[in-house]
Amino acid sequence: MKIYPIYAIILLITFICSCSNINTITSKNDFTYTEVGDVFLNDQIRVEDIKINESENGKAFNVMMKNLMWFDMNLEIKMDFYDRDGIKLDNPWGWKPFTLEQGQSDWIKFISPNKNTYNFKLYMKKAEL
């Protein structure tokens, strides 16, 4: 009875499907955020800068992303916002498509739902084709 290879394959598939990369980063303006993404994007995409501005309805987050690869990257990105107590704020935006050409850096903008935003999580994944 050769059941063991089947268990090894199931374990390997489970590991690959559950891989994620979580980095907690403090930006230059002391605003802490958490970056959550596909573990395979870790060496392919880098957050280079974050600029935060007050807007009428909330805070505007401008995030500069850089494609470190020699090919274009089609991504989906979303941002979740949290208040000072760590409670997730309603986010009406969802996932945004975002394309970076090889070696390119570009800005993507998010608007928090209100001015009480204290922290955020940035999620990245490869776009579904």
Q: In CATH, what number is assigned to the domain containing residue 112?
A: 2.60.40.3230
**Residue 2 resides in a domain:** no
Q: Is residue 13 part of a domain?
A: no
The sign of the dihedral angle between the CA atoms of 61, 66, 72, 76 is: negative
pTM of the complete model beyond 0.95: no
Asked if the structure places residue 10 within a domain, the reply is no
Flag whether 11 is in a domain.
Answer: no
Residue 31's pLDDT is 57
Query: What's the confidence (pLDDT) of residue 30?
Result: 53
| Overall average pLDDT of the 29-43 stretch | 63
Average predicted confidence (pLDDT) for the chain: 76
Give the other-Cβ count within 10 Å of 97's Cβ.
10
Domain that holds residue 107: 20-126
Residue 92 has pLDDT above 90, yes or no: no
The pLDDT score that the predictor gives to residue 18 is: 43
Number of separate domains in the chain: 1
**66 within a domain of the structure (yes/no):** yes
Task: Compute the average pLDDT of residues 50-74.
Answer: 87
Q: Enumerate the β-bridge partners of residue 65.
A: 47, 106
